[in-house]
Amino acid sequence: MQRSLVVAVSLLASGQLLAANELQTVKVSGATSTSLARELPVGAVILDRHTLNSLPASDLSEILDTVGGLQASQLYGINGSGASLDLLGFGATGNQNTLILLNGRRLSGIDLGSPNLTGIPLAAIERIEILPGAGAALYGNGATGGTINIVTRQRYEQSAGLEVSSGSYNALGGQFHATGKRDRISGALASQSLISDGYRDNNDTRNHSVFGDLRYQGEGFQAYFTATGEQQSLGLPGGRTIDASQNQFRDDPQGTSTPLDEAEQDNYWLMPGIRIALGDQSALTLDVSRRRQHQDFDYVSSSSFGDTRVDSYSVTPKLEGQSATGSAVHNWTLGVDLYEYDYRSITSFGNRDLEQSQRAWYIHDLISLTPKFSISAGARKLDSTLSGEGANKDQDGEMYEGGLRYTFTGNLALFAGAQRSVRIANLDELSPFNPPVDPQTGKTYTVGASWSQGFQYSTLTLWRSEIDNEILFDPATFTNRNLDDPTVHKGISINSRWQVDKDLTFTANASAQQARFDGGQYSGNDVPLVPEHTMALIADWQALRWLSAQLSHRYVGDRHYDGDLANQYTKLEHYRTTDLQLTARYRGLYLRAGAYNLENHQVADYGNYNATTNSATLYPLPERHYRIAVGFEL
């Protein structure tokens, strides 16, 4: 799916679509320009390779947390393990309403677990495409708040790199990558490891991952095989309690009340595919995948355990091409997505052996009416069947999206878009412990402007989402269920990057948002965990020929605790952190040193409220900490 979007938009961006009313040849090699997604009628934010290198971040979740309108919650604060992502303000259900993709294929899971981000080496990423309030027709279920597509490098030359690192909390890490090319074959191999005791007691992390990619480029034919694998073990320190008699968050933030709780997981993902040119104006892509996820947890503190395995298979063929209707040029995509999941779980509170099938077809058309004016439209039909627990549970939904974009002289563009999204209930929400859960539907409207000039690019996006049958956990009934009344999410975000001069780049990203229940017993209340304001300021300075510095400041505003739908408890306080990173280079050698949370603030990006005990539980993030790395690049 991602490549179909690339082809369609790259043709529009060429500025040659209507020259002499001639059709242009469809590109079947797969373009990797970082500007392609910006041609869609949405407020796309593109983090290219240069941007990724300029951020003082050590994992993928920290990078995504800098984007206006997108919040990443670290939970345990180590390597992004267990991090959740929330695009356009959905709070505790952010993971289920933000669709995560790897090269256009679904990374988001079929349960309430967070998407696995730690197994993707930063060195393997070409760019990250963030589409707020868009992607339902092209990508499918769960794109309520939008889509995040992580695109790995697809053009390889001769290169290699090796890095070892150490830091606070007895952290020791390393990463390696190598790429090469010979004749029509190119490939890449990357791996990374991290061992750390963690900020808190029982917060140790062991993480090892590997990424491989092999590609063959022929005449009108491309074949590729991508594979990822990961092993991880993680101590689970739980939260710090605040009630009438104690404040563990203030008095003992590094402590734990669950010293023996732990979790382990391992997974792999195999993704072969081919792309064939069918004449000059169309192409066929066939992607298949095999994925296994395995997780064990042992909660000694509550005498519970679990062993879960998910095997998934997908076949996603698509046909794309270009045609003309009068002076209008269509860049269309027609595709089918077939996903099969085999879910087996053995836990202390019951066993489950389930199968889920998801079938969808979709069509999308990007139409260039003039070199400056384009429109897009798409539709998707989804059917899902869950079997293994009594009668089959069927869910279906229809998704639509469309928009228009006009580019003025001077690279100022205005856009407006709308989508109807669907989120079908996942396996945890369809468990026997919950009442019947219907699909959630949403209508999202976005308008905004983007402006590029030289080394400057800015995007302003305003959004409004109206969600019906929203699926969430209700602490009053202790079940996942549909809300009887809608919720309304609205806000504004700005993402701006400026090349002030040849040695200084400045990034300013911010958002102001509001998410509220619109009716029912919680009418007028704020949706928990949605901050009213966020901000990220980042400076990347080439101070000397051999020395660069990155300084970032992050602010997250007040928000209600998870579980406090009644808004009766005090808010989770706002926080700010500042990070500084220095890099010295000599030829291929480099030395990087970083200090994070310079102000040594005591902060938490997640907290839960228990109305029965009138107490709160906070998950502290690391105070001031350090990291140093030595590396070599060819």
- Rounded mean pLDDT of 60-70? 91
Q: Between the CA atoms of 106, 109, 113 and 115, what dihedral angle is there, to the nearest 10 degrees? A: -20
Bridge partners, 188 (sequence order): 179, 213
Q: What is the CA radius of gyration of the chain?
A: 24
Give me the pLDDT at residue 2, please.
35
Which residue bears the tokens 């009594």? 390
Q: What is the pLDDT of residues 382-394, one digit of tens each?
A: 999 999 998 999 9
φ, ψ dihedrals at 525, nearest 5°:
-80, 155
Please work out, in degrees rounded to the nearest 5, the angle formed at the alpha carbon of residue 601 by the alpha carbons of 598 and 606: 120
Q: Which pTM does this prediction carry?
A: 0.91
Please tell me which residue, 593 or 114, carries the higher pLDDT value.
Answer: 593
Instruction: Return the structure tokens found at 564.
Output: 């406090």
- Rounded mean pLDDT of 49-78? 85
Q: What is the pLDDT of residues 107-143, one digit of tens each?
A: 888 888 877 787 777 877 889 999 999 999 999 999 9
User: Which band of pLDDT confidence, cut at 50, 70 and 90, is reported for residue 36?
Assistant: low
Give me the pLDDT at residue 118, please.
77
User: Which band of pLDDT confidence, cut at 50, 70 and 90, is reported for residue 77?
Assistant: low
Please work out, in degrees rounded to the nearest 5, the angle formed at the alpha carbon of residue 113 by the alpha carbons of 437 and 295: 125
Give me the pLDDT at residue 116, please.
76
Give me the pLDDT at residue 112, please.
86
Q: Which amino acid is at 519?
A: G
- Rounded mean pLDDT of 52-63? 84
Which domains, and CATH codes, for the chain?
2-633 (2.40.170.20)
Q: Between the CA atoms of 472, 477, 478 and 480, what dihedral angle is there, to the nearest 10 degrees? A: -30
Is 33's pLDDT higher than 70? no
Q: What is the pLDDT of residues 164-184, one digit of tens each?
A: 999 999 999 999 999 999 999
**% pLDDT > 90, the chain:** 75
User: Which band of pLDDT confidence, cut at 50, 70 and 90, is reported for residue 21?
Assistant: very low
Give me the pLDDT at residue 3, please.
37
Q: By the 8 A CB rule, do 47 and 125 touch? A: no
Reduce the DSSP state of residue 411 to 3 states and report it. coil
Q: What is the pLDDT of residues 105-116, one digit of tens each?
A: 898 888 888 777
Q: What is the mean pLDDT of the chain?
A: 89
Q: By the 8 A CB rule, do 382 and 422 touch? A: yes
- Rounded mean pLDDT of 436-444? 96
Highest mean pLDDT: which range of 212-226, 405-419, 527-541: 527-541
Is 287's pLDDT higher than 50? yes
Q: Which amino acid is at 355?
A: E
d(CA 174, CA 59): 13
